[in-house]
Structure 1
Amino acid sequence: MISPDEPLHVLDLPQLYQKPSGTDLIKALALLSLQPRTFGTTADVVKGPAVQPEGVTRYLTSIIASSLAWLDADELREAIWDAASARLSERSGRTAMPAMSRVFNIPTSSGEEYTLTLHEPSLTADNLGMKTWVSSYLLSRRLHGLESPPSLVPSSTDATIPTQRPLRALELGAGTGLVGLSFAALRGKSATIHLTDLPEIVPNLAHNAALNIELLNRTGAAVTTGLLDWSVTPSPLPTEEQRYDVILAADPLYSPSHPKWLVDTVGPWLSRGLNARVVTEMPLRDAYLPQVKEFRQRMGALGLAIIEEGEEIGYDDWESADGGALAVKCWWSIWGWSEKLE
């Protein structure tokens, strides 16, 4: 007798030569479902199917290739083929997955958790902003520690701007919006936030803001979305009143052009007040380490200095061939002006 705590072997599943019922095949395929990971730590990772991975791909392929002639209904055969194809796609990497809705739990300073729902279209190489990346998840879970410190209050060099106004925040390269929406929910009425990205990303970003309207309304959050192309210098340059007290960016570097573009965007849009902050998190993947180094150098040249930084491990989803979680080292940093700028 097999212990319920022990993973099954693929040979324990209904075998085609036995001509199993359609119901039994559907149940077996449901058992093989791989769920998206929650990114965080090994304790957060959703457990995979209770079936040993050896032989599963061959099992699924055999079902897709079979005529399933012993089953009576065409609809039942189609449902089984579709389920087997979906299970095979789940094991073929995130780019093979269809559109999905993801649920993320974000801690608050009170110990409560907020739940955000994000829609992710099917991923292709030219729409990487449609996926929620591990650094976004890690930064969103760090934001509650930034919720109330004195350093994150409006402070302007312009005496005509009231210091008690809501804090203004901007997210660059918001993607699916996890970081910005988390920030909005955590800050509530005390802040407004503008989530920005490229034209092809913004419609899904706006859609995700709408998906979470109940949470945003409950916390009194004010969220807007819009286009911001880092490669284009704003003209005219924003006034101090138009600038932002906080700029957020997660996983913003995946092109040799990005360090310059990102810092060139931070410069005109960040408030000149000494309380202004740039909060970033990015993976330390070998291919992009030169870009991280360049980003640090350019931020320093702009007049910004690191106030606090650290590294942490997250687990990206759908990166490995078997659908397992892949450990990713990420670097987070908080920047402020090294001296008062006029």
Structure 2
Amino acid sequence: MISATEDEPLHVLDLPQVYESPSGTDLIKALALLTLQPRNFGASAEAVKGPAVHPTGVNRYLTQIISSPLSWLQTDELREAVWDAAAARLSERSGRTAMPAMSRVFDVPTGSVEDYTLTLHEPSLTADNLGMKTWVSSYLLSRRLHNLLDSAPKLVPSAPTDISITSNKLRALELGSGTGLVGLAFAALRGKSATIHLTDLPEIVPNLAHNAALNIELMNRTEATVTTGVLDWSEVPEPQPTAEERFDVILAADPLYSPKHPGWLAQTIGAWLSRGLDARVLTEMPLRDAYLPQVQELRDRMAQLGLGVIEEGEEVGYDDWQGADGDALAVKCWWAVWGWSEKV
């Protein structure tokens, strides 16, 4: 019987070996023990794993299974299942981009007894669909939202005559939603007092809409209103949005990964943010050395629009971009709440 404790991890030699002609069931159970999940984003650098198996020799063990004809197993279907499981375990050890599609569960603090739980689907990643990955800054902002939404001044319209408000509901827009963690967290926390429109590029929106549908039970329970759609920052909206079309809150997490993004992002915020003094922009982004000039450019461009930082801070999370057997990657992030410095 395969068993392990936290203090006494299994050795790969404790697992069923190919030369022993183990049953397909035993092989599949052993391969399940070797499943690796992406790292946590939180304050701990520990990986999320199943029962511990010492990593020494695991890659060789998996390769032996993949290269074996498994001729003692009775059906092609069983052999395929074992090979597929072994290949998946090997890919998980080849870095985050090699991992297969997955569903991930995130807890969203509410400031009360019960946290909310969101389920997000992430497709298998390639170099051209990194927007479908949940990034650490999104995770950190989603966990900070319940505090930011109650910060002074509160993110609610001060004047009921503000023409940007429809039916007394706060109107929110998320830019570069990715998997939708921040926007869906905002929706659940705000419930029936707000509507939110989650946006991204055309190739990302289908998975974004899928994630909104995955969380329909929570959205219904909190009476949240969520829509999704395409919004390309590089395109200047023509005609310019009217006061009724603008949003009271704009959210953006990890929005800068191209030299063009500071200008595009500021341009989009300037077009879509309500001109009311209670309008807010909530951002969080990693302070990676290569992108520090872009962060500063964004600050400059926001100031040119008349937007200043009302509240800000730094925090550290652990991204899952490193290989599953490598060291956790600590990422310092900067969060900020922006508001109009004067009536625009």
TM-score, with normalisation over the residues of structure 2?
0.92
**Aligned position for 1:307:** 310
Mark the CA change 1:44 to 1:12 in structure 2 (over 3 Å): closer, same or farther. Answer: closer
Take 2:5 and 2:231, find their aligned partners in 1: how far apart are those partners?
56
**Aligned position for 1:182:** 185
Alignment partner for residue 276 of structure 1, among 267, 276, 279?
A: 279
Structure 2: runs of 5 or more not aligned:
none
Letter in 1 for 2:250: I
- Are 2:42 and 1:40 aligned? yes
Take 2:6 and 2:118, find their aligned partners in 1: how far apart are those partners?
33
- Superposed CA RMSD in Å reads 2.2
Take 1:161 and 1:212, find their aligned partners in 2: how far apart are those partners?
28
Letter in 1 for 2:63: T
Alignment partner for residue 128 of structure 1, among 127, 130, 137?
A: 130
Mark the CA change 1:68 to 1:331 in structure 2 (over 3 Å): closer, same or farther. Answer: same
**Aligned position for 1:75:** 77
**Aligned position for 2:336:** 333
**Aligned position for 1:103:** 105
More displaced 10-residue stretch of structure 1: 4-13 or 184-193: 4-13
**Cα deviation, residue 34, structure 1:** 0.6
- Are 2:28 and 1:29 aligned? no
Alignment partner for residue 56 of structure 1, among 55, 58, 67?
A: 58
- Are 2:256 and 1:258 aligned? no
Contact 1:157 1:272 in 2 (8 A): no
Alignment partner for residue 202 of structure 1, among 197, 205, 212?
A: 205
Matches within 5 A, 1:206-221: 206-221=209-224
**Aligned position for 1:9:** 11
Identity of aligned residues (%): 77
TM-score, with normalisation over the residues of structure 1?
0.93
Alignment partner for residue 86 of structure 2, among 81, 84, 87?
A: 84
Mark the CA change 1:124 to 1:310 in structure 2 (over 3 Å): closer, same or farther. Answer: same
**Aligned position for 1:228:** 231
More displaced 10-residue stretch of structure 1: 68-77 or 273-282: 68-77
Take 2:93 and 2:99, find their aligned partners in 1: how far apart are those partners?
9
Mark the CA change 1:157 to 1:339 in structure 2 (over 3 Å): closer, same or farther. Answer: farther
More displaced 10-residue stretch of structure 1: 155-164 or 132-141: 155-164
Aligned length: 341
Letter in 1 for 2:280: R
Contact 1:151 1:276 in 2 (8 A): no
Mark the CA change 1:181 to 1:82 in structure 2 (over 3 Å): closer, same or farther. Answer: same
Structure 1: runs of 5 or more not aligned:
none
**Aligned position for 1:167:** 170
Letter in 1 for 2:131: G
Take 1:98 and 1:243, find their aligned partners in 2: how far apart are those partners?
39
Contact 1:169 1:192 in 2 (8 A): yes
Residue deviations 1:170-224, cap 9 Å, x none?
Answer: 1000111110011001001111111111111111111111111111111111111
Q: Secondary structure in 2 aligned to 1:242?
A: coil
More displaced 10-residue stretch of structure 1: 187-196 or 155-164: 155-164
**Aligned position for 1:246:** 249
- Are 2:148 and 1:146 aligned? yes
